């Protein structure tokens, strides 16, 4: 997030909540200014126009949700510097990335940042779609890379090679995006069923890979 004045910070916070509820097209800068307790003209002293404020709010949402992902992964980091074999893993040695997926339903209910991010990513204003992609696509790519690197360093005895790292990064990003779509359009029971099914396949793949490497 950028360094901003306290006034600009309040404007951006109010705008993010407003955009999350109304979307880009339904949002009113007059209402944002009113929520902050300033005149609309004063808002323009901090942000050039609606597009600039929207993209600033999007950058904030990405930063906040990226930190949440980092925290989820850190909570399941391997406590020992030596990775364990696949047979040694138990519930206390969960594959990295599971905690983030399992937390998404509650996170979506609690975080206006995630609600705004997903509404923007999956229903973007057409004029801003390329710029939105410049924020969202790296975010998803980084989550995938975080997963692949965490698995390679913390869970497998032999690290993934470059091709496998990319493959697992893309696969995990696909799982996350599938769950994001469910958050928007379904939620609840269907989301949990999809999460469990996709994660079971990911676990099977990684355990098979670990066992195959041990047999080499």
Taking only the tens place, the pLDDT of each residue in 132-169 is 999 999 999 999 999 999 998 888 878 889 999 999 99
Nearest of 77, 43, 58, 84 to residue 213 by alpha carbon: 84
For residues 36-40, average pLDDT: 94
For residues 17-23, average pLDDT: 96
Is the per-residue pLDDT at 130 higher than 70? yes
pLDDT at 214: 61
Tens digits of residue pLDDT in 194-213: 999 999 999 999 888 877 76
**Domain range 57-215, CATH architecture:** Orthogonal Bundle (1.10)
Is the per-residue pLDDT at 131 higher than 80? yes
Q: How confident is the model at residue 216 (pLDDT cuts 50, 70, 90)?
A: low
pLDDT at 200: 92
The chain-wide mean pLDDT, for the chain, equals 88
Quote the CA–CA distance of 122 and 181 in Å, as a whole number. 8
Instruction: Classify the phi-psi angles of 31: left when phi > 0, otherwise alpha if psi is within -120 to 50, otherwise beta.
Output: alpha
Q: Which two tokens stand for residue 27?
A: 């949002």
Quote the CA–CA distance of 100 and 71 in Å, as a whole number. 9
Q: Which positions ≥6 away from 72 have C-beta within 8 Å?
A: 99, 100, 103
pLDDT at 215: 57
pLDDT at 84: 42
pLDDT at 185: 87
Percent of the chain with pLDDT over 70: 89
Assess contact for 11 and 32: CB atoms under 8 A.
yes
Q: How far lies 138's CA from each of 133, 161, 166, 173, in Å?
A: 8, 21, 14, 11
Is the per-residue pLDDT at 23 higher than 60? yes
In a 3-state reduction of DSSP, which class is residue 166?
Answer: helix
Quote the CA–CA distance of 123 and 89 in Å, as a whole number. 40
Nearest of 209, 132, 203, 207 to residue 163 by alpha carbon: 209
Between 188 and 121, name the one with better pLDDT: 121
Tens digits of residue pLDDT in 66-101: 999 999 999 865 443 344 444 444 433 578 999 999
Q: How confident is the model at residue 115 (pLDDT cuts 50, 70, 90)?
A: very high
């Amino acid at each position: 997030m950028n360094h901003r004045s306290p006034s600009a910070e309040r404007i951006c916070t109010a705008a993010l909540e407003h955009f999350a509820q109304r979307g880009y097209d339904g949002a009113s800068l007059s209402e944002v200014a009113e929520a902050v307790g300033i005149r609309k003209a004063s808002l323009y002293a901090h942000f050039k126009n609606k597009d600039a404020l929207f993209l600033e709010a999007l950058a904030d949402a990405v930063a906040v949700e990226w930190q949440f992902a980092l925290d989820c992964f850190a909570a399941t980091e391997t406590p020992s510097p030596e990775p364990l074999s696949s047979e040694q893993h138990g519930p206390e040695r969960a594959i990295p990335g599971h905690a983030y997926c399992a937390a998404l339903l509650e996170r979506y209910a609690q975080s206006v940042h995630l609600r705004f991010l997903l509404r923007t990513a999956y229903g973007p204003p057409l004029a801003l779609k390329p710029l939105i992609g410049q924020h969202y696509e790296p975010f998803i790519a980084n989550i995938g890379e975080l997963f692949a690197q965490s698995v390679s360093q913390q869970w497998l005895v032999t690290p993934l090679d470059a091709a496998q790292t990319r493959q697992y990064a893309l696969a995990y990003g696909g799982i996350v995006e599938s769950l994001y779509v469910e958050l928007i359009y379904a939620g609840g029971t269907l989301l949990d069923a999809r999460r469990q099914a996709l994660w079971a396949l990911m676990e099977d793949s990684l355990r098979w890979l670990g066992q195959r490497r041990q047999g080499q």
